[in-house]
Structure 1
Amino acid sequence: MTAGISDNRLTANADHFENRHIGPNAGETREMLAAIGVPSMETLISKTVPASIRLDRPLAIPDGIGEQAALSELRSRLYGVTRTRALIGQGYHGTLVPPVILRNLLENPGWYTSYTPYQPEISQGRL
């Protein structure tokens, strides 16, 4: 029998991130640890993370909730929050910026690309 769309194993808690995340399974984890010559994940952590910064108790992290429950929680927290006028940039709307400054700001490739000016995508039009 093939698994159908209505199979509960496929849809149970489908909106939880940890159930949608595709990470290494136990066999792949053992294979990766063997490749670096470490017998367990605990040994790997003890060899790489200094003892002075390791936490020797479990983190107090609550269980995850689904996407719909998270949206509901956010909506309930936002209830009663009023929107006000944004005052960002007040007083600067009438400022005169010399054209040479505007041109150098708007044409500076550092604002729109991570490439250096020597990359052909940008520099072909400038050479």
Structure 2
Amino acid sequence: MKLNLLNQAKFEPRHNASADQTADMLKTIGVDSLEELIAQTIPDKIRLRKPMDLPVAQTEAEFLQSFKKLSRKNQVFKSYIGMGYYNTFTPTVILRNIMENPGWYTAYTPYQAEIAQGRLEMLLNFQTMVCDLTGMEIANASLLDEGTAAAEALHLMHAQRPANKQHAHVFFVSELCHPQTIDLLKTRSAPIGVELLIGNHKTTDFTN
């Protein structure tokens, strides 16, 4: 018996539907062909009338080889952002027991919703640690970066203004904040009608 290890079937039928199944679905929705369906659903003015200029299809091995060749053109530089951001060394014990420990995000595969339980546990531990270090009663669950955290603080303070402060739309930002943080605050404040006041926090009068 001779085995053919190469699947000669086209990609579409193997992953979408067979010709009979396609015909049955087309009959159900009242069209005779896929071309007719496309003509009815996609506006004519945005349809491309000529074949796409794509390279010849590659095998997986060929793609990996060409992709690695392309990736070798990347140039890796050190971080030049400065402004308090520096390359750091994470102790191996932290890498091994926290960041590389699958127990933190459970044994579930990434596409399963249950992985959220492990993430929630990590966030709870983080919040508990922040409360212990700062002595505060509550702590948020962390955000991706400083700029995002500052923007969320702006939104929160603006949304939770007391009744006698509903007319207040000025948000003070210290000029000592990182420029990228201030830039993000400018972007996020404009759409909600908040005016940024950037200045020296030591000399600014906060009574008004």
The answer to whether TM tops 0.5 is yes
| Larger relative contact order, structure 1 or 2 (CA cutoff 8 Å, min sep 6) | 1
Within a 5 Å distance, the mapping from 1:1-127 to structure 2 comes to 6-7=3-4, 10-11=5-6, 18=11, 21-79=14-72, 81-87=74-80, 91-92=84-85, 99=134, 100=136, 103-106=139-142
- Cα shift at 1:87: 4.2
Identity over aligned pairs, percent: 31
Q: Is 2:26–2:34's contact at 8 Å kept on the other side of the alignment?
A: yes
TM-score normalised by the chain length of structure 1: 0.56
Larger radius of gyration: 2
SS state at 2:20 partner: helix
SS state at 2:27 partner: helix
Amino acid at match of 2:20: G
Q: Which structure dedicates a bigger proportion of its chain to helix?
A: 2
- Quote the Cα distance in structure 2 between the aligned partners of 1:35 and 1:57: 30
In structure 1, list runs of 5 or more residues that go unmatched. Answer: 107-127
- Cα shift at 1:66: 1.1
Q: Is 1:38–1:44's contact at 8 Å kept on the other side of the alignment?
A: yes
SS state at 1:103 partner: coil
Q: Which structure dedicates a bigger proportion of its chain to strand?
A: 2
Aligned to 1:115: none
Amino acid at match of 2:6: T
- Cα shift at 1:27: 0.9
Q: Is 2:13–2:19's contact at 8 Å kept on the other side of the alignment?
A: no
Residues 26, 20 of structure 1: CA spacing in aligned structure 2 closer, same or farther, 3 A cutoff?
Answer: closer
Regions of 4+ moved over 6 Å: none
TM-score normalised by the chain length of structure 2: 0.37
- Quote the Cα distance in structure 2 between the aligned partners of 1:13 and 1:81: 36
Amino acid at match of 1:69: E
Amino acid at match of 1:49: I
